[in-house]
Chains A and B, each alone.
Chain A
Amino acid sequence: MEKYTRVEGVAASFPRPNIDTDAIISVAWQRSLKSNPGEGLFAIWRYDLQGQEVPDFILNRAPFRKSKVIVAGANFGCGSSREFAVWALVRFGIRCVIAPTFGDIFYENSFKNGLLLVTLPQAEVDEIHHHLATTNDPTMSVDLESCTIELPNDRTIAFNIPTARRATLLEGLDEIGQTLRFVADIEDFQQKSRACQPWLYARPEPRHSP
């Protein structure tokens, strides 16, 4: 994973709460492993039934076609476990989502794909929505090193992020590689587990498909 430091660019406002992963990418875009999930981002709102762009939809308008940040409502990314939702955001070019709260599985998925999620109190998120709704310059920068968001109106908002999450992004770490440092602990655990709960490991011979 690439190291993550700072994002500067256009921010799009999605104030509605509970935007689910089905809405972020509908299942139709997951039928092929070769499709570009970035094209399917918010497809149910971005395209009409004939597959034509809906002109009013924010990501179909300049300058939001080049959005790098999404400012969302509460519980963004609730619903299905689909990591396609994160891949869709990342492939579209989104590097950061700011919201009061996020769906749990989506939260995990995002950090594993280098998508920074910034959690802020509802009032601060509302302030950013208001700013984006009224400004001619919908850009901002999000700095992971200093943990601050800078708006063009000279407003700076600080955010908190769990230390381990921040370090993983800043260093671009591979989590599996990290865990495999503890392989001796895993072996130890499994040995004890086999002794205490042998039934967990006893099972009929697996059948394998030809």
Chain B
Amino acid sequence: MANSETLFDKIWLSHVIREIEDGVFLLHVDRHMVHECTSAAAFEGLKRAGRKTRNPELTYAVVDHILSTAKGRTGETFAGGREFVQLLRENCQAHKIELIDVDDPRQGIVHVIAPELGIVLPGTTLVCGDSHTATCGGLGCWAWGIGTSEVEHVLATQTIVQRRPKRMRINFEGKLNRGVYAKDLILRLIGQIGVAAGRGYAVEYAGSVIRSLSIEERQTICNMSIEFGARAGLIAADDVTFEYLHDLPYSPKGEMWEQSLAYWRSLPTDPEAVFDREVDVDCTSIGPQVTWGTTPEDVGSVSDPIPDPAAVNDLARRAAMDRSLTYLGLEAGQSLEGLTVDVAFIGSCTNSRLSDIEAAAEVVRGRKVASHVRALVVPGSAQVKHAAESLGLDKVFLEAGFEWREAGCSMCVAINDDFVGPGKRCISTSNRNFEGRQGQKSRTHLASPASVAAAAIAGAVTDVRRYLT
């Protein structure tokens, strides 16, 4: 039927190479992002089988996960990372893949640099051996995370084997309250529908609130799609997207820009298109969100009491809530406000872009970090860091007592030398509050950059609205 396709359908249909069998399709991959941690074994597999990278010109590599974020770092500064960094260098050279290395002014977290360099384009397929690849969906791209065997498959064939996901649309409508950011919207959604609701779906985020968001905020929304089980989240490209992409290092230029623009304008979901599931989120009722448990669905407004597991009928959910509260040292009915924090982390592919750092700086300016708190800002890329410094934001943070670090994944994944100590409580702009995620026995509360900044100042979880003028 004409004019009844979703954005996702259009991308899917334009990337099918052939049906292999039984609802299993071979799809073309337009962009493959590679980082040091999930690629080493893939390159090793290629070597064993005597295979090459099919399209090195569609493949981009960057060092981000295992890298130190300390000032003056090199690939060598952190002993644990050396092996992976060196292997990536050797593999990129052998396979003629462009590597954005440690000291490159374009270096940064893979999902932060891919959009900011214009590698991510609307209507394309992009994969990476990292579950937060969905971040890139903020530019109207179908981007999703894959495992290491799939990385090897993409390197060797520039294709991926897929079953067609179902389609979900999530409509964010209403008006945003003061102190509420993109991070709060996605946390609220996950709290509303649960961590498994997106399994098997490609999700399109829509609605007037989404349209009003910047590209950076749209990336924050798409980033956490995987946290409710969806491998991909997309937002249709519009004039805001085109303005963002114009003249980026890898975006189309000249006549090709005009050609691509005409194509991109044909991609948004047709008005008659039907989704397998639609979800509405009323943004008007959302306050600043903070998680109280060990999955992102364990979340509520900062001023809400922690829910009581005993009031939950689902026994498995009740047991999981009990376990979350024990792990975090919290009790049902308790308020998160006033809960002392040891660490405040601003960074990760969820919230390390310039607008995140600006929002945090607005709270921090002229104030001091509480004396018992270790507070750090880790820009998502060298470019973000540079841009923030040219606005003088590094000084705002340094004068307040924050650490101002080099770009990388840092305390989100804690495979580098940044982690939260055992039993310590961290308020974090990252995406996962899983047990042990930020270091052994670490306790994580997810929140927006402004909320984390406010907690750093207060020394405790607090309502960021108190700090906004």
Contact = CB atoms under 8 A, between A and B. Distances in A.
Interface of A: 15-18, 20, 22-23, 26-28, 30-33, 44, 49, 73-75, 78-83, 86, 101, 103-106, 108-109, 112-113, 162-164, 174-176, 178-180, 182-183, 185-186, 188-190, 193, 197-204, 206-209
Nearest to B160: A179
B70 interface: no
Given A81-B38, A113-B149, A204-B250, A23 B415 contact: no
Contacts of A31: 66, 80-81, 415
Interface string B6-17: 000000000001
Contacts of B24: 164
A200 B58 CA distance: 8
Interface of B: 17-18, 20-22, 24, 26, 28, 30, 37-38, 40-41, 49, 51, 54-58, 66, 80-81, 83-84, 87, 89, 92-93, 96-99, 101, 121, 124, 129-131, 145-150, 152-153, 156-159, 161, 195-196, 199-200, 226, 229, 231, 249-250, 252, 256-257, 259-260, 263, 295, 316-317, 319-320, 323, 413-415, 422, 432, 434-437, 440-441
A182 B26 contact: yes
Given A176-B156, A193-B28, A208-B96, A185 B18 contact: yes
Nearest to B56: A206
A108 B146 contact: yes
B37 A74 contact: no
B28 A189 contact: yes
A24 to B, nearest CB: 11
A179 B173 CA distance: 43
Contact of A176 (B20, B89, B131, B153): B153
Nearest to A1: B149
B69 to A, nearest CB: 15
A188 B18 CA distance: 11
Nearest to A163: B22
A175 B38 contact: no
Contacts, number: 196
Nearest to B198: A104
Contact of A201 (B18, B21, B57, B96): B57
Contacts of B263: 197
B252 A202 contact: yes
A176 B259 CA distance: 34
18 contacts: A16-B319, A27-B415, A31-B415, A33-B84, A73-B316, A74-B316, A75-B195, A75-B199, A81-B130, A81-B147, A176-B51, A176-B152, A179-B156, A182-B159, A186-B157, A190-B158, A198-B259, A201-B57
Contact of B323 (A16, A44, A182, A201): A16
A157 to B, nearest CB: 20
B153 A179 contact: yes
A181 to B, nearest CB: 9
Given A49-B440, A185-B18, A30 B37 contact: yes
Contacts of A202: 252, 256
Most B CB within 10 A of own CB, among A28, A185, A199, A207: A199
A27 B413 contact: yes
Contacts of A182: 17-18, 20, 26, 159
Contacts of B93: 208-209
Given A22-B436, A80-B432, A199-B260, 17 more contacts: A15-B316, A16-B320, A44-B440, A79-B131, A82-B147, A83-B147, A105-B131, A105-B231, A108-B146, A112-B149, A176-B153, A186-B26, A186-B157, A190-B55, A199-B257, A199-B259, A203-B57
B89 A200 contact: no
Contacts of B229: 75, 78, 103-104
Contacts of B257: 199
B349 to A, nearest CB: 12
A189 B440 CA distance: 47
B121 A49 contact: no
